[in-house]
Amino acid sequence: MILAFAATAIVILALMWEVGWPTVSEKLEHRRARRARVPSLDYDPGRERRAEQRARQLLRSCVNDEEWEMYRDLGLIRVWGRLAGGPGRGGTSATEAGAPYAYILYPHKPIVAYLPQTRELLSEYCVDFPDETRPYGSPHLPDSDDVLAKWMALTGDERGLIETANMHLAGRQIDPKRVRRDLWRLQEWERQRIRRAARGGGDPARDSGRAVP
Amino acid sequence: MKPGHGEILLAEGDIARPAEEEALVEEFRRQLELGMWAAVPTATPDGRREARMVRDFSDVPRDADRVIFFPRAAGG
């Protein structure tokens, strides 16, 4: 009789162990995890903002007044294309009037090539400036640094940058409606700028380094 | 330019002083070996701004006041 009770008790205990052990084990794991010391990452939430402020100052010191105000007001910079003999089509090398195409530079978005005369979008050039060392935890440049990097690479070596980039038809990453709206905003912005300069006696061409049509 | 940090001063000096020029050349080479591109912002007399990409320290104009290093471009 006693032997039968003992055997039954052993079987019950074994079954309870099978059923209850995973729960007990999980609770022990949670308890250990709660008590474990997590190393501090010293994340500074203002770092990115300060980096962007520095980047804006650097951008402003490199581009001309027109380009800086364009970026400040519209969030983009237009760079005139210099390949395909653009300046010869209606202006001098100094004015670049009649350049057959231009680029729009957005931060962390593809470079968009378009025809200024018709606002027809030509293509997107997907290019990135990754820092593989990632010394500060983020592989991305601040927005203004990204725009400046594109501006320097385009004005310094347009062909080289375009050959490096992945080219796609317009509309792959940036909504063409958005780009056309930005081109319209840019046109209105330029008109207002010329009107302001006319009233104030300033010369927007001198600020931009090119003739204003 | 550094991700998450923005502009960092790497080195400065007067190229008229040989010791400082040597330090500048060394830093220039180090940055290029790290895979960075180097550019010198320039301004023409008519106010036009552009950048000049440089691949050797001897390409840097003697009157340049700075060289900007930024990560090499890659297809996105």
Which residue pairs, CB below 8 angstroms and at least 24 apart, start in B51-59?
A: B51/A62, B51/A151, B51/A152, B51/A153, B51/A155, B51/A156, B52/A156, B53/A152, B53/A153, B53/A156, B53/A157, B53/A160, B57/B24, B57/B25, B57/B28, B57/B29
A180-191 residue pLDDT tens:
999 999 999 999
| Least Cα separation, residue B32 to chain A (angstroms) | 13
How many structural domains does chain B have?
A: 1
Q: Nearest by CB to A138, from B4, B73, B76: name it.
A: B4
What are the residues facing A183 on neighbouring strands? none
Looking at the fold, whether A79 and A184 belong to one and the same domain comes out as yes
> How many angstroms separate the Cα of A190 from the Cα of each of A78, A162, B73?
12, 27, 30
Does B5 reside within a domain? no
| Residue ranges making up the domain that contains A140 | 47-208
- Residue in chain A closest to B48 (alpha carbons) equals A209
Cβ–Cβ of A148/B70 closer than 8 Å?
Answer: yes
Structure-block tokens of residue B63? 């009157």
Helix A65-74 crosses helix A143-164 at what angle (to 10 degrees)?
110
Q: Nearest by CB to A155, from B2, B51, B73: name it.
A: B51
Looking at the fold, whether A32 and A51 belong to one and the same domain comes out as no
> How many angstroms separate the Cα of A117 from the Cα of each of A3, A110, A162, A175, A183?
100, 21, 22, 20, 11
Looking at the fold, whether A73 and A4 belong to one and the same domain comes out as no
Does A115 reside within a domain? yes
Cβ–Cβ of B70/A152 closer than 8 Å?
Answer: yes
Looking at the fold, whether A18 and A117 belong to one and the same domain comes out as no
| Percentage with pLDDT > 70 across chain A | 78
Looking at the fold, whether A107 and A170 belong to one and the same domain comes out as yes
| Residue ranges making up the domain that contains B38 | 18-71
Contacts of A136 in chain B (CB under 8 A): 2-5
How many structural domains does chain A have?
A: 2
Looking at the fold, whether A30 and A109 belong to one and the same domain comes out as no
* A92 vs B: CB within 8 A: no
Looking at the fold, whether A92 and A188 belong to one and the same domain comes out as yes
Looking at the fold, whether A95 and A183 belong to one and the same domain comes out as yes
| Least Cα separation, residue B28 to chain A (angstroms) | 17
Looking at the fold, whether A54 and A30 belong to one and the same domain comes out as no
Strand-pair category, A120-128 with A111-115: antiparallel
B38-72 residue pLDDT tens:
999 998 887 789 999 999 999 999 889 999 999 99
Q: Residue A69's closest CA among A192, A211, A200?
A: A192
Looking at the fold, whether A152 and A172 belong to one and the same domain comes out as yes
Q: Nearest by CB to B75, from A61, A165, A209: name it.
A: A165
Looking at the fold, whether A27 and A53 belong to one and the same domain comes out as no
Does A213 reside within a domain? no
pTM over cut 0.80: no
A114-134 residue pLDDT tens:
998 888 999 999 999 887 665
A18-36 residue pLDDT tens:
888 888 888 888 888 777 7
Looking at the fold, whether A64 and A125 belong to one and the same domain comes out as yes
Q: Is the ipTM of this complex over 0.85?
A: yes
Integer Cα distance of A147 and B1 in angstroms: 12
